[in-house]
Amino acid sequence: MKNRRSFVFFGLLLLSIQFSLLLHPAHAYLNARSAILLETTTGKVLFEQNPDAAIPPASVTKLMTLYLVYEAMREGRAHPWDSVKISKRAAGTGGSRMHVRAGTEVPLEELIKGMAVDSGNDACVAAAEHISGSVEDFVAAMNRKARELGMNNTTFFNPNGLPAKGQVTTARDMAKLSAAYLQRFPESLRVHSMRCYTYNNITQHNRNRLLGTCPGVDGLKTGWIVASGYNLAATAKRGNTRLLAVLLGAPTPGARAEETARLLEDGFQRVASNSPESLRTIIAEPVPVRTGQKKRGVAPLQEYPGSR
């Protein structure tokens, strides 16, 4: 009798484990610290994984900088043709750069390309000084806008995402920013979709590897610093559906591209099938992405803070 009870208990335990695996399959999780996927028209969240984890934004910070630049132009406080005087502070900013020179003047529309495509930290400082008079005043405006957008778990300390103690965001907050940015300034995708940009005889390639490799992707912004890992806010449109994915803390640039493509692909499949089932149960095999990197786990030879 005792052996029979033990057998029944063991059988029930196995059934419980199997049921749990059906609800939470191991393949449902992305190789990243945090992620969220939403449909931009309805705002419906299709997938989330630790979406409120506090992680440094790295160069995804530049989406807020670009938001404020586009807003200033929309309100007539700035114009694309403005000549922006490059300060020594801007020209001397490290990390990924547009390579602007102190004392020269650069049209604001070129700085926008330098921020969006080159991930130029120097361009961010120059734009911040032009819009608000100083970097400090611009950063204060960034944080005010963050509160206005409901980004309650985000704090900015600079306009470019370079390492700064206490500068953090979440995937959910970055999704709020990205969705608002796309809604208010859809014209920005003309710049974010550029695969390369040449300034001062230096051509740099957009670090968003999904451009041209994942159907429908036309933005937005990558980021990397040691403390964050590899970040990406990406958007894609197929037919009448636009999805927005934010992935933070991937271990390599290849994993960042693969996991974001995987998330977008499964999201479009779920929307097309019009299924109420959570996307959490359908994340499957990685989607092949032509990243130029043969296997996961191989990092680039060089990394620049706030550059990826």
For the stretch 78-89, pLDDT in tens is: 999 999 999 999
Q: What is the pLDDT of residue 24?
A: 36
Flag whether pLDDT at 39 surpasses 50: yes
Q: Which of 96, 119, 178, 307 is catalytic?
A: 119
Percent pLDDT > 70 in the chain is: 80
Q: Active-site residue 44, yes or no?
A: no
**Rounded average pLDDT over 276-287:** 46
What is residue 160's three-state secondary structure? coil
Contact status, residue 210 vs residue 218, Cβ threshold 8 Å: no
DSSP state of 216: T
Q: Active-site residue 119, yes or no?
A: yes
The count of residues in the chain is 308
Flag whether pLDDT at 241 surpasses 60: yes
Percent pLDDT > 90 in the chain is: 78
Q: Which of 34, 62, 87, 96 is catalytic?
A: 62
Flag whether pLDDT at 282 surpasses 50: no
Q: What is the pLDDT of residue 184?
A: 98
The radius of gyration of the chain's CA atoms, rounded to the nearest angstrom, is 21
Q: Which residue has the higher pLDDT, 65 or 17?
A: 65
Q: Is 3.40.1050.10 the CATH number for 27-281?
A: no
Q: Which of 59, 132, 178, 193 is catalytic?
A: 59
Q: Active-site residue 228, yes or no?
A: no
Domains of the chain: which residue ranges?
Answer: 27-281
Report the chain's mean pLDDT, rounded to a whole number: 86
Separation in Å, CA 155 to CA 25, 32, 61, 66, 69: 34, 21, 10, 16, 19
